[in-house]
Structure 1
Amino acid sequence: MLLKLKKGMKPRPQETKDCFGARVEETARKHPNACAILFEGRDISWRDFNAMANRYAHYLSDKGIKRGDAVSVFMENRIEYMAMLVAMNKLGVVGALLNTNLTGRSLAHCIQVAKSVACIVG
C-alpha cells in the first residue's frame, strides 16, 4: 500500500496560499510570540519556528534540492523534525519519512524505494 501511495504523491501545487508552510508563515506574522510547539519541556514561538524552517529550506535549496525531489528524513521526534517538514513543504519537496528503528538492509531499501536525492539524518 505504501508503494502505491508513494507513486501517486505529487508536490504541492504552485499555488502556495493553502500549503502548510504558508500557514506557518501567516501564523508567525499574526502571532509571532505565541507558542508554536511545546515538546518535552522545550518550546518555540511561531516567529522562531518559521525562521528555523526558512533556514532549513534555504539550506536544502542551496544543496540543489528542488520542487518534486524526494528527500528521506531519518530523525527522532523533536522541534527540528517539524521545522524540516515545514521547510520541505515550502519548497515543494516530497518527504520520505523513515522509521528511526530501521537499520541495515531495511533502511537502505526504504531510501532506495523513495528514490531520494538526499537523506536528512538527525
Structure 2
Amino acid sequence: MIEPAAIIPMLLAAVAGGAASPDPTAPAPISLSTETVPAGVVLQVIGESATLVDAAYSLEVTNASGGNRSTQRGRVSLRPNQRAVLLTSRLGGDAQAGWRAVLVVTPTFGQPYEIRRQAD
C-alpha cells in the first residue's frame, strides 16, 4: 500500500516528466530533421522522449535573403517512448540553394532551447 504522504511527490514527478532534474546527456525531446530530396528539402519536427514532456514549439523557415518566411507553432504532450512527427514542411525547387530553419522549444518544465539548420 502506498503511503498518502508519498502520493503528492509521485504525482508531481509524473506531471513534470522528471524534468525537475533533467538528464543533461538525454537527447532533446523535440528535434528537427532535414532531408534533401530531388524536389527540394523536407523538414520534420520530431517528438520522442523517455519521460512525459509537455512543451510548446515553433519552427521558422526563411529563404537565404530573408524575403520569404513561414512560421508554424504547436503544443504537444509527449508520451514516454512514443515517437511522433509533429509537423512536416517541404521546401521545393531551388530551396536547396538557400534556406534557414530555427526550431524553438519551450518545455513547461525545464529550459527552452533552439535548434538551427541551414542549406549546406
Q: What's the TM-score bracket when you normalise by the shorter of the two chains? A: under 0.3
Q: Which protein shows a greater Rg? A: 2
- Answer 1 or 2: which has greater helix percent: 1
TM-score normalized with structure 1 length: 0.23
- Answer 1 or 2: which has greater strand percent: 2
TM-score normalized with structure 2 length: 0.24
